[in-house]
């Protein structure tokens, strides 16, 4: 009887000790949040794909504007301010932070580059922004304030913001992608 009590007590103590060990602070928990930090470099480039404009093929934005290759790409250092003010010939202010990416459409209604393009984006059209970081971003998922905006995670250093069908492409529109 005494041996059974000892085994039962030993089993109970073992279960409790194991529970405390498995509930302890796990160093891997730090890798479950985005790691986009101030001082890090980010490069942006843009493509567009649409039935009416590109025949359904994804094309670099420089080709559509007949601009020199890579001339509309940009690199910035992440800080507390907007990283890409008036990006893409005064189209968007793009702000990259540790846990979010925000876009504000700053082009005006009569803008010579975009004025005739303002509309609700049709099916089969995608405006893509490739963000390439110097270090791993650790983004695993996201939420967005606009259902027509998606985030594609191409690799541990590349995020692609995809603006698609249903997006209201008009002056003053904003959206935020919350990174997780």
CB of 105 within 8 A of CB of 121?
no
Distances (CA, A) of 83 to 26, 46, 57: 33, 15, 29
Q: Residues 53-61: contacts with CB within 8 Å, 24+ apart?
A: 53/125, 56/124, 58/126, 58/128, 61/88
Confidence of residue 34 (pLDDT cuts 50, 70, 90): confident
pLDDT tens per residue, range 122-176: 999 999 999 999 999 999 999 999 999 999 999 999 999 999 999 999 999 999 9
Give dist(CA 137, CA 31) in Å, integer: 10
Give dist(CA 174, CA 136) in Å, integer: 26
| Per-residue pLDDT, 33 | 81
* Total-model pTM: 0.82
Residue 12 has pLDDT above 70, yes or no: no
Closest C-alpha to 159, from 175, 136, 143: 136
CB of 93 within 8 A of CB of 85?
yes
- What average pLDDT is seen over the chain? 87
Count other Cβ atoms within 10 Å, centred on residue 107.
22
């Amino acid at each position: 009887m005494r041996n059974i009590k000892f085994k039962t007590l030993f089993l109970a103590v073992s279960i409790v000790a194991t529970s405390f060990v498995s509930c302890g602070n796990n160093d891997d928990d730090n890798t479950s949040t985005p790691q986009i930090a101030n001082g890090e470099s980010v490069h942006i480039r843009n493509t567009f794909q649409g039935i009416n404009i590109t025949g359904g093929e994804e094309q670099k934005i420089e080709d559509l504007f007949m601009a020199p290759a890579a001339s509309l790409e940009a690199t910035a250092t992440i800080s507390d301010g907007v990283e890409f003010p008036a990006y893409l010939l005064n189209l968007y202010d793009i702000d990259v932070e540790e846990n979010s990416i925000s876009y504000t459409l700053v082009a005006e209604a009569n803008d010579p580059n975009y004025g005739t393009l303002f509309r609700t984006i049709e099916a089969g059209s995608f405006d893509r922004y490739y963000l390439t970081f110097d270090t791993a971003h650790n983004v695993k998922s996201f939420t967005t304030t606009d259902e027509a905006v998606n985030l594609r995670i191409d690799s541990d250093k590349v995020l692609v913001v995809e603006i698609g069908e249903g997006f209201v492409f008009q002056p003053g529109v904003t959206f935020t992608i919350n990174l997780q």
